């Protein structure tokens, strides 16, 4: 398992993402005269709503939008789309001077920045596992000011490329930024020339400020300077990429984004599945991971699945611990999972019990399994298709809750969770709805 050896206290999760949304969008012509590019409609919602939804899967709690062009319109649109996000996200809009460039926008937002944060463009999206990048950045030593995501192209002749040392060995130092792949410098080379290009997603340390100027470009000025000083690392990422600043991509995004980002979901019961059921576990010191649990979640994230926890926590109603403790434990759990390259997209817990000793929680609830309320709420908020999803639980009540929600369920009775779940992820049960209601054992 990969843990932060040099900085054991450094969390793999980050709280803040910073998004560049101030561009003029001139390549899209009339479309961006009235609307900033990031809030142009893609399918049934603004592009930015898709991007924020994806980011919130990886534990980000706050988005700082670096705005410029049409910032009042942007603020109105963002207030509306924020209500539709499946997980609450605090959104801060920072108005940057026009023409400051991508680096300048970051320079002016300095006072708002966390010590470490993610930075990305508001008009492109890479459907990839950000947890792997977060885990690598948490492990970086103090001399590193940034981690950049790279996309490998079989033919990078039309692009600027990033050169690296030992990219496949994990010691992935960025050595330079070139306008063209070296072999294509004269522009007459026939045939494909592979290369790694900048995906526009960075994890940054706020000390990068010493490199910034009021007007500068991150891509052309700051990243090359960080590379020269040995302060920049890289990681390759796979996945569907779209840049809506390109008219063909914008047209393609209308169908492709909704199709790709409506993911299948892996619903996991907690006690007895993710952790050994020691009875009313309310704190991390009593939390013992089931063998293979972290690997299972990392594999699900890597394969493009949502991972949701649905857990009865009657320990709250019984007075063993409070809701704040449950939330603290789940935040800790999410960080443990991110540290190994997976994420927990969202959690539902039910604190109620009809025979609880705490009056405020003494009642029945349609969220308490075997009722399906927690699954149904996640299905609605995240717009999940139950027929493509699966639930893993260790109790008959888990099977019943899943069946009532239309989700195929599988009962885990101990052993290694990865050995049980990974074959199911690779070969999901087809059209479980055809035989509903059913829960296989
Ligand atoms: Mg259980």
Q: Are residues 274 and 319 in the same domain?
A: yes
Helix residue ranges per DSSP H, 320-372: 323-338
Q: What is the pLDDT of residue 284?
A: 96
Q: How many of the other CB atoms lie within 10 Å of CB of 319?
A: 11
The DSSP code for 353 is B
Asked if residue 70 is part of any domain, the answer here is yes
SS3 267: strand
Compute, in angstroms, the gap from residue 115 CA to the centroid of ligand 1.
38
Asked if residue 8 is part of any domain, the answer here is no
Choosing from 261, 283, 304, the residue where a domain stops is: 261
Compute, in angstroms, the gap from residue 306 CA to the centroid of ligand 1.
19
Q: Which domain holds residue 386?
A: 265-435
Asked if residue 193 is part of any domain, the answer here is yes
Asked if residue 376 is part of any domain, the answer here is yes
Measuring CA to CA, which residue among 56, 45, 71 is closest to residue 17? Answer: 56
Compute, in angstroms, the gap from residue 287 CA to the centroid of ligand 1.
13
Measuring CA to CA, which residue among 394, 409, 407, 402 is closest to residue 370? Answer: 402
Q: In angstroms, rounded to a whole number, what is the distance separating the alpha carbons of residues 403 and 381?
A: 19
Q: How many domains does the chain have?
A: 2
Asked if residue 441 is part of any domain, the answer here is no
Q: Are residues 275 and 405 in the same domain?
A: yes
Q: Are residues 254 and 274 in the same domain?
A: no
421-434 pLDDT, tens digit per residue, is 999 999 887 644 43
The DSSP code for 310 is E
Contact by Cβ (8 Å): 322, 316: yes
> What pairing do the DSSP bridges indicate for beta strands 241-243 and 124-126?
antiparallel
Contact by Cβ (8 Å): 93, 56: no
For the segment 388-405, the average pLDDT, to the nearest whole number, is: 98
Q: What is the pLDDT of residue 68?
A: 84
Q: Are residues 164 and 194 in the same domain?
A: yes
Choosing from 217, 242, 261, the residue where a domain stops is: 261
Q: Are residues 127 and 192 in the same domain?
A: yes
Percent of the chain with pLDDT over 70: 91
- Looking up residue 181, the CATH number of its domain turns out to be 3.90.550.10
Q: Which residues contact 111 (CB under 8 A, 6 or more apart)?
A: none
Q: Are residues 119 and 152 in the same domain?
A: yes
Q: Please, what is the end-to-end C-alpha distance for the chain in angstroms?
A: 31
Look up tokens 């072999």; give the residue: 183
Which parts of 273-407 are beta strand (E)? 306-312, 346-350, 390-393
Q: Are residues 272 and 237 in the same domain?
A: no
Compute, in angstroms, the gap from residue 2 CA to the centroid of ligand 1.
27
Choosing from 239, 261, 283, the residue where a domain stops is: 261
Residue 437, pLDDT above cutoff 70: no
Q: Are residues 254 and 270 in the same domain?
A: no
237-263 pLDDT, tens digit per residue, is 989 999 998 889 999 999 999 999 999
Asked if residue 221 is part of any domain, the answer here is yes
Q: Are residues 47 and 69 in the same domain?
A: yes
The catalytic site residues sit at 269, 271
> What pairing do the DSSP bridges indicate for beta strands 62-67 and 90-95?
parallel
φ, ψ for residue 174, nearest 5 deg: -80, 130
Neighbours of ion ligand 1 (CB under 5 A): 269, 271-272, 394
Q: What is the pLDDT of residue 97?
A: 85
Q: Are residues 280 and 159 in the same domain?
A: no
Compute, in angstroms, the gap from residue 39 CA to the centroid of ligand 1.
42
Q: Are residues 49 and 109 in the same domain?
A: yes
Compute, in angstroms, the gap from residue 262 CA to the centroid of ligand 1.
27
Compute, in angstroms, the gap from residue 393 CA to the centroid of ligand 1.
6
96-107 pLDDT, tens digit per residue, is 888 889 999 999
Model confidence, pTM: 0.92
- Looking up residue 350, the CATH number of its domain turns out to be 3.40.50.1000
Compute, in angstroms, the gap from residue 422 CA to the centroid of ligand 1.
19
Q: Are residues 79 and 225 in the same domain?
A: yes
Q: What is the pLDDT of residue 433?
A: 41
159-212 pLDDT, tens digit per residue, is 889 999 876 655 589 999 988 777 765 555 667 888 899 999 999 999 999 999
């Amino acid at each position: 398992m990969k843990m932060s050896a040099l900085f054991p206290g450094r969390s793999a999760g980050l709280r803040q993402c910073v998004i560049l949304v101030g561009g003029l969008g001139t390549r899209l012509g009339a479309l961006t005269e009235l609307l900033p590019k990031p809030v142009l409609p893609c399918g049934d919602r603004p592009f930015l709503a898709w991007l924020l939804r994806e980011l919130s899967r990886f534990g980000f709690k706050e988005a700082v939008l670096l705005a410029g062009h049409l910032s009042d319109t942007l603020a109105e649109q963002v207030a509306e789309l924020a209500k539709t996000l499946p997980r609450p996200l605090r959104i801060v809009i920072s108005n940057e001077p026009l023409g400051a460039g991508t680096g300048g926008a970051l320079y002016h937002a300095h006072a708002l920045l966390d010590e470490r944060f993610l930075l990305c463009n508001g008009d492109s999206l890479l459907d990839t596992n950000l947890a792997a990048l977060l885990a690598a950045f948490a492990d970086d030593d103090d001399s590193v000011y940034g981690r950049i995501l790279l996309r490998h192209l079989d033919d990078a002749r039309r692009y600027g490329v990033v050169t690296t040392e030992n990219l496949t060995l994990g010691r992935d130092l960025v050595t330079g930024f070139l306008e063209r792949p070296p072999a294509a410098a004269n522009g007459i080379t026939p045939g494909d020339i592979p290369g790694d290009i900048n995906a526009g997603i960075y994890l940054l340390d706020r000390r990068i400020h010493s490199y910034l100027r009021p007007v500068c470009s991150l891509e052309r000025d700051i990243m090359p300077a960080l590379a020269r000083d040995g302060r920049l690392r890289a990681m390759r990422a796979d996945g569907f990429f779209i840049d809506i600043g390109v008219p063909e991509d914008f047209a393609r995004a209308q169908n492709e984004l909704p199709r790709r980002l409506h993911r299948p979901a892996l619903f996991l019961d907690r006690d007895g599945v993710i952790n050994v059921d020691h009875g009313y576990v309310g704190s991390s010191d009593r939390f013992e991971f089931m063998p293979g649990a972290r690997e299972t979640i990392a594999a699900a994230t890597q394969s493009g699945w949502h991972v949701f926890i649905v857990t009865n926590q009657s320990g709250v109603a019984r007075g063993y611990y409070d809701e704040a403790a449950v939330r603290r434990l789940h935040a800790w759990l999410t960080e443990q999972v991110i540290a190994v390259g997976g994420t927990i997209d969202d959690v539902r817990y039910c604190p109620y019990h009809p025979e609880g000793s705490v009056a405020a929680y003494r009642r029945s609830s349609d969220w308490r399994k075997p009722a399906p309320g927690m699954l149904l709420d996640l299905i609605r908020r995240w717009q999940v298709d139950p027929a493509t999803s699966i639930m893993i639980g260790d109790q008959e009540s888990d099977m019943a809750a899943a069946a009532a929600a239309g989700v195929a369920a599988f009962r885990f009775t101990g052993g290694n969770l990865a050995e049980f779940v990974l074959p199911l992820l690779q070969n999901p049960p087809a059209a479980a709805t055809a035989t509903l209601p059913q829960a296989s054992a």
